[in-house]
Amino acid sequence: MNRGFEGGRASRHQGGGVHVLQNIRTLRVCVFHPNNADGDELMRQLHRIGCLAQAFWPPPSAPPPETDLVFIALYPDLLHQDYAWCGEKDAPPVIAVVNYESPITIDKVLRVGARGLITAPVRSFGMLSSMVLALETVRELKKSQSRVARLEEKLKGARTISAAQNILFMLRGVTRDEAYKLIRDQAMSKRVTVEEIASAIVSADAILSQK
């Protein structure tokens, strides 16, 4: 009985993957793959899954705007294709389609920044999971990138405040705590951030101390 009761309902709707799955039918998918049996099978499975899929060959210089996901065939005879757009900041995630595991192929997979991989001959099984994983990985990545950006900003601000405190300490002979209070009072009365006041003090000091 105990075993039967394990697991439970709480786990079902946790995780962003569920969200990705729920919206899979609104997903715009591009397929950069030669028009052959594997390309056909790829498209057919995307249609079974119910995505809005479009095939291109030869590949255009970039996927159309609003594309959510791109499949790219990386076969030995296609490795010369240039996918420069993959390096751009808001490029859609890529799932590589490979038929070799040679170092050159793997290198190309890394160069296009693939977030998922399926193998050729293309099989229907595994495609949906690869897609969800790729989208989820990118979502997580974007989340942590923006977090890192926020933290960097914050860290920079903290350095500036510390520098401004030092300046006030030298010029006014106040303690560091009192210096901080002065900066904060200024920020409040001017309705700007503490960081901005600190930054103004630091640049004023730089100008005044020029000889």
Partner 1 sequence: MADRNPIKVGILFSETGVTSAIETSLLFGTLLAVEEVNEAGGIDGREIVPVRYDPRSDSNEYRQLAERLVSVDGVRVIFGCYMSSTRKAVIPVVERWSSILFYPTLYEGFEFSNNVIYTGAVPNQNSVQLADYMTSVFGPRVYMIGSNYIYPRESNRIMEDFVRERTDGDILGERYLDFSATEDDFKRIITEVKILQPDFIFSTVVGNATRLLYRAYADAGIDPAKMAIASLTTTEVEIAQMGADICAGHITSAPYFQSVDSELNKRCVKNYFRRFDDAPPPNACWEAAYFQVHLFANAMRSCGSDEFDALMPSLLGSQILAPQGRVQLDPGNHHAWLYPRIGRANAAGQFTIVRESAQSVSPDPYLVKHSLEGELRAPCFRRA
Residue with tokens 């993957």: 17
Binder to partner 1 among 128, 133, 174, 202 (CB under 8 A)? 128
CB of 111 to partner 1, least distance (A): 32
**Amino acid residing at 141:** L
19 sits near partner 1 (criterion: CB under 8 A): no
Phi, psi of 152 (to 5 degrees): -60, -40
Binder to partner 1 among 4, 58, 65, 103 (CB under 8 A)? 4
Q: How far is CA 149 from CA 16, 71, 113, 153, 196, in A?
A: 22, 29, 21, 6, 18
In the complex with partner 1, the residue whose CB is nearer, 47 or 156, is 47
14 sits near partner 1 (criterion: CB under 8 A): no
Restricted to residues 26-45, the positions that interact with partner 1 (CB under 8 A) are 41, 44-45
In the complex with partner 1, the residue whose CB is nearer, 18 or 192, is 18
Give per-residue burial for 49-77: e unless 16+ CB within 10 Å, then b.
bebebebeeebeebbeeebbbbbbbbbee
CB of 178 to partner 1, least distance (A): 57
In the complex with partner 1, the residue whose CB is nearer, 45 or 199, is 45
Q: Are 195 and 160 in contact (CB under 8 A)?
A: yes
Q: How far is CA 192 from CA 175, 195, 198, in A?
A: 23, 8, 11
Residue with tokens 């500036």: 160
What x-and-dash track marks residues 42-71 binding partner 1 by CB under 8 A?
A: --xx-xxxx---------------------
CB of 53 to partner 1, least distance (A): 13
Phi, psi of 85 (to 5 degrees): -60, -20
Query: Under the rule (CB under 8 A), what is the footprint of partner 1?
Result: 1, 3-9, 12, 21-22, 24-25, 41, 44-45, 47-50, 124-125, 128
